[in-house]
Chains A and B, each alone.
Chain A
Amino acid sequence: MHHMILDSETDFDGWRKAARALALNDVKPSDVTWRVADDAPELFEPSAPPLEPPHGTFNVPARFVELAEMAILHRNPERFALLYRLLWRLRGNHDLLEIVTDPDVAEVAAMAKAVHRDEHKMHAFVRFREIGREQKSHFVAWFEPEHHIVELAAPFFARRFADMPWSILTPDVCAHWDGHAVSITPGVAKSEAPTADRLEETWRSYYASIFNPARLKVQAMQKEMPRKYWRNLPEASLIKPLIEDAGRTASAMIAKAASEPHKPQKRLEPPKADDMPRKGADDIETLREEAADCRACPLYKNATQTVFGEGAQTARIMLVGEQPGDKEDLAGKPFVGPAGQMLDRALDEAGIDRRKVYVTNAVKHFKFVPRGKVRLHQKPNTPEIRACRQWYERELAAIKPELVVAMGATAAQSVFGKITPINKNRGRPIDLDDGTRVLVTVHPSYLLRLPDAEARASEYRRFVQDLKIAAGALRKSAHAA
């Protein structure tokens, strides 16, 4: 039998060295006992001869070291033996830790988890009390951890409260911070700790006031703040009276009829949008304001806002797209997303100044379905295109452009008032009965969707070509005028 003695309850390095030597000497887990120095009188048991100094090394998964470092802080006295048994078995099966259903793996994992939780609760439930005032004050806490976690938890407090000296006193060991380094001293009795702080009454009133007596959930509280922590929490003495009063307070609120308001309650009717927009030419700003409340079709419900057209009132070209996309819906401006960037580049290459054109969409709300964290674009249907056409008509009347460029099928349908194929009609100005001159082309987002780089490049060139035709048509009409 080998009797291993570790320096302290948290002596991971000592355990590691001893375990390595034992394993390399092929000492079975059942032939080892473990204890911590000075926690028990020496027993006069026959001991095996000292181990040979270890020859060579062996590998364990990094995850085992992480687990063992945590589990060794558990208060269970069997932990050293359990960890050695797991180490021993790991040498025969390197994947053992992956088998979370193995009893040894499960127990070590549960111990590590318990230590981790205790550390987390120590971060949460330590309550400092101030000794002395302001400049020279020192913050001291009394805490009773379940496991040997003080050294583990101390760096958190050092990083958080670096600018103030503090001490955390516990029955096992104490941690201190002087502004430069953490030091560890032996444990003390609770009587060493301060018993009051000038802020505690204020904290207790906060605790009582933030509690909603109408929604008592005592078990939920106790699950996260078990009763063993209560004796060191200044607010915990309020728990019992708050619970006892809760039913009365809540039913009193329910029973008490509302008092007369000291100010008149004026209730406004929800605003109603005009059912029919006025006919006739308006300026764009008036139209934009009116369209902001548009409810002519249901698309407004799920969208952020109406995305109205934008550009110079004196524009000679009016570009019409399909509908705003994700970015446009958020920003409230047309063509600011990826398709907008593509359009800007193409306009530039075609020699058209975007600042001098008017840009809008056939449908002015974003139609989509939510899929987790993204919104999937949906093509607007005919009733939606029809419902929104009034705005296009009024924009057209306000801007009076020489040429309308309809980009994509939805825009063509709106501008022509009927379904109009792109390829049959693209690339040449078409005069409509109402005197509007239209050039049909593709929507820039069509170019973005093409999977093949070569097709994308050639379609892009055709798009720029169409825009050049638009620019050319303008110059001609300018000459004619």
Chain B
Amino acid sequence: MDLQRKLEILADAAKYDASCASSGTEQRDSSDGKGLGSTAPGMGICHSYAPDGRCISLLKVLLTNACNYDCLYCVNRTSSNVPRARFTVDEVVKLTIDFYRRNYIEGLFLSSGIIRSPDYTMEQVVSVARKLREEHRFRGYIHLKTIPEADDALIVEAGKYADRLSINIEMPLENSLAKFAPEKDVRAIRRTMGRLRLKLDEARENGKAATKAKPPRFAPAGQSTQMIIGADAADDKTILDTSANLYGSYRLKRVYYSAFSPIPDASRALPLVPPPLLREHRLYQADWLIRFYGFDANEIVDETAGMLPLDIDPKLAWALRHRDRFPLDVATASREELLRVPGFGTRAVDRIIATRRLTSIRLADLARLHIPQKKALPFIVLSDHRPSPRLLDGAGLKQRFKPKAMQLGFGF
């Protein structure tokens, strides 16, 4: 099989993993002339975008899509009839370097089907990273999938070479994983996430103590995970509770939500319908509210519904359920309160707080703050604006935010 055909199979096999981030790692470059590559700390770089709207930052491939496991939701499950392929370690290394030199990618995201044993599989994955770092002095970004039961020495080595490590929790509910992925064990997944966090904490603490010897490097971009949405019956409340638990327990950088998507040669046991993309989007918005806007997982989803509304965003839905807290005077409200105004982003709030010390904020300023007027106006008081009480209390307010028909066309 030629390399191009292998790449087609093994990229196709990797695309259901949503993560492609290249951000948040340490700063590295090659200005010493002894290596190749650099990282952009803080902000990753997306070198391209596919028509599915997803960023292409890394060469995201599987080492092999042969797999002993039979996870029903997975394109690579052992009972699927998809064509199989396997890269050699050298093939992935060369492809990464070749792509990198042409500025196609920030680095490599390598995962693998489970072959022979977890340790054997992990060793294969680690040896690609080892070769890139040690032989080719590659200083770009590396994300490695961690195999849950793998030996501690292999995990230490993975953390030495990788920027980010990840293990997918897959299902929001423990019994769904048992049902859909009988070989996977949520306990083993969580134990390994725990192991990773202890090593991440240790590396960070050692990094702070200047007197000690150089700390063991361990995945400076941290760990992340992914949950599949819509394959099981878990509601949004359950999903967000699971996320809150994972963020708190393992200090994850990100929980990715991946709408269950039809796959070639799908299992009969799963819903063969278009992926719930809008639901996925709402979950990301809710996730953001929890991490950056001071919301608690419990208040974002309406207790009686269990699901986020699809037609409006979760912050607007929250505001409509808590109208007694509005309108809010932008001149005096606290940062925490401003963050809860529909249409106000974190940067807009920071700018409002800096500006209002010097001058009052008027209706005409909203555009310069990049705040959508239509969404925000019913909820705020400005020096030259006060919403009518009838609007805020009326039943028509919700109607005002009903979306127009979605445009999916593509004009050429």
Seen from chain A, the residues whose Cβ lies within 8 Å of a Cβ on chain B are 95, 98-101, 103, 106, 120, 123-130, 139, 141, 156-164, 179, 197, 199, 201-203, 205-221, 224-225, 233, 235, 239-240, 242-243, 246, 250, 253-254, 256-259, 261-268, 270-271, 292, 301-302, 304-305, 327, 329-332, 368, 370-375
Nearest 10 interchain pairs by C-beta: A220-B53, A370-B248, A217-B53, A261-B79, A270-B178, A101-B365, A330-B194, A159-B29, A209-B11, A211-B50
Whether B355 contacts A163 by the Cβ 8 Å rule is no
Whether A329 contacts B194 by the Cβ 8 Å rule is yes
Q: In the assembly, what is the distance between CA of A120 and CA of B55, in Å?
A: 14
Question: Residues of A contacting B273 with CB < 8 Å?
Answer: 254
Report B1-20 residues with CB < 8 Å from chain A CB: 3-4, 7-9, 11-12, 14-16
The answer, among B9, B95, B104, B248, for a CB contact under 8 Å with A375, is: B248
The residue in chain A whose Cβ has the minimal distance to the Cβ of B8 is A209
Question: Residues of A contacting B9 with CB < 8 Å?
Answer: 209
Question: Residues of A contacting B362 with CB < 8 Å?
Answer: 101
The answer, among A126, A203, A215, A267, for a CB contact under 8 Å with B261, is: A215
Whether B51 contacts A243 by the Cβ 8 Å rule is yes
The answer, among B102, B358, B365, B412, for a CB contact under 8 Å with A95, is: B358
Q: In the assembly, what is the distance between CA of A205 and CA of B62, in Å?
A: 15
Query: Does B193 lie at the interface of the complex (its beta carbon under 8 Å from any beta carbon of A)?
Result: yes
Q: In the assembly, what is the distance between CA of A210 and CA of B54, in Å?
A: 9
Q: In the assembly, what is the distance between CA of A271 and CA of B179, in Å?
A: 10
Distance in Å: Cβ of A44 to nearest Cβ of chain B: 40
Question: Residues of A contacting B361 with CB < 8 Å?
Answer: 101
The residue in chain B whose Cβ has the minimal distance to the Cβ of A97 is B354
Report B230-280 residues with CB < 8 Å from chain A CB: 244-245, 247-249, 251, 259, 261-268, 272-275, 277
A-B contact pairs, 25 of them (CB 8 A): A98-B354, A100-B351, A100-B368, A101-B362, A101-B368, A164-B36, A164-B101, A206-B7, A206-B59, A209-B12, A225-B48, A253-B272, A257-B268, A258-B265, A261-B79, A261-B80, A262-B81, A271-B178, A301-B174, A304-B191, A305-B190, A330-B198, A370-B245, A370-B297, A373-B251
Query: Does B78 lie at the interface of the complex (its beta carbon under 8 Å from any beta carbon of A)?
Result: yes
Question: Residues of B contacting A240 with CB < 8 Å?
Answer: 412
The answer, among A161, A267, A305, for a CB contact under 8 Å with B187, is: A305
Residues 93-136 of chain B, each 1 if its beta carbon lies under 8 Å from chain A, else 0:
00100110111100000000000000000000000000000000
Whether A203 contacts B101 by the Cβ 8 Å rule is no
Question: Residues of A contacting B259 with CB < 8 Å?
Answer: 215
Whether A141 contacts B247 by the Cβ 8 Å rule is no
Q: In the assembly, what is the distance between CA of A374 and CA of B250, in Å?
A: 9
Whether B355 contacts A100 by the Cβ 8 Å rule is yes
Whether A163 contacts B33 by the Cβ 8 Å rule is yes
Query: Does B310 lie at the interface of the complex (its beta carbon under 8 Å from any beta carbon of A)?
Result: no
Q: In the assembly, what is the distance between CA of A79 and CA of B21, in Å?
A: 35
Question: Residues of B contacting A125 with CB < 8 Å?
Answer: 47-48
Query: Does B357 lie at the interface of the complex (its beta carbon under 8 Å from any beta carbon of A)?
Result: yes
Whether A99 contacts B274 by the Cβ 8 Å rule is no
Query: Does B60 lie at the interface of the complex (its beta carbon under 8 Å from any beta carbon of A)?
Result: yes
Whether A330 contacts B247 by the Cβ 8 Å rule is no
Task: Knowing A265-B79, A374-B248, say if A246 contacts B51 (CB, 8 Å).
Answer: yes
Q: In the assembly, what is the distance between CA of A123 and CA of B262, in Å?
A: 34
The answer, among B101, B195, B291, B407, for a CB contact under 8 Å with A219, is: B407
Question: Residues of A contacting B213 with CB < 8 Å?
Answer: none
Query: Does B197 lie at the interface of the complex (its beta carbon under 8 Å from any beta carbon of A)?
Result: yes
Q: In the assembly, what is the distance between CA of A75 and CA of B148, in Å?
A: 52
Distance in Å: Cβ of A208 to nearest Cβ of chain B: 8
Whether A268 contacts B182 by the Cβ 8 Å rule is yes
Question: Residues of B contacting A214 with CB < 8 Å?
Answer: 261-262, 274-275
Q: In the assembly, what is the distance between CA of A213 and CA of B369, in Å?
A: 36
Q: In the assembly, what is the distance between CA of A202 and CA of B6, in Å?
A: 10
Whether B357 contacts A98 by the Cβ 8 Å rule is yes
Query: Does B319 lie at the interface of the complex (its beta carbon under 8 Å from any beta carbon of A)?
Result: no
Whether B354 contacts A100 by the Cβ 8 Å rule is yes
Q: In the assembly, what is the distance between CA of A189 and CA of B11, in Å?
A: 36
Q: In the assembly, what is the distance between CA of A259 and CA of B410, in Å?
A: 34
The answer, among A210, A254, A301, A332, for a CB contact under 8 Å with B50, is: A210
The answer, among A162, A225, A254, A372, for a CB contact under 8 Å with B49, is: A225
Whether A203 contacts B358 by the Cβ 8 Å rule is no
Q: In the assembly, what is the distance between CA of A292 and CA of B191, in Å?
A: 11
Question: Residues of B contacting A197 with CB < 8 Å?
Answer: 102
Report B42-82 residues with CB < 8 Å from chain A CB: 43, 45-56, 59-60, 70, 78-81
Task: Knowing A100-B368, A221-B50, say if A371 contacts B248 (CB, 8 Å).
Answer: yes
Task: Knowing A126-B103, A304-B191, say if A160 contacts B51 (CB, 8 Å).
Answer: no
Distance in Å: Cβ of B285 to nearest Cβ of chain A: 14
Query: Does B38 lie at the interface of the complex (its beta carbon under 8 Å from any beta carbon of A)?
Result: yes
Question: Residues of B contacting A209 with CB < 8 Å?
Answer: 7-9, 11-12, 15
Whether B56 contacts A330 by the Cβ 8 Å rule is no
Q: In the assembly, what is the distance between CA of A253 and CA of B79, in Å?
A: 17
Question: Residues of A contacting B95 with CB < 8 Å?
Answer: 202
Task: Knowing A211-B51, A217-B53, say if A101 contacts B32 (CB, 8 Å).
Answer: no
Whether A199 contacts B262 by the Cβ 8 Å rule is no
Whether B410 contacts A207 by the Cβ 8 Å rule is no
Question: Residues of B contacting A254 with CB < 8 Å?
Answer: 262, 272-274
Task: Knowing A225-B49, A253-B263, A331-B198, say if A160 contacts B38 (CB, 8 Å).
Answer: yes
Question: Residues of B contacting A270 with CB < 8 Å?
Answer: 175, 178-179, 182
Whether B49 contacts A305 by the Cβ 8 Å rule is no
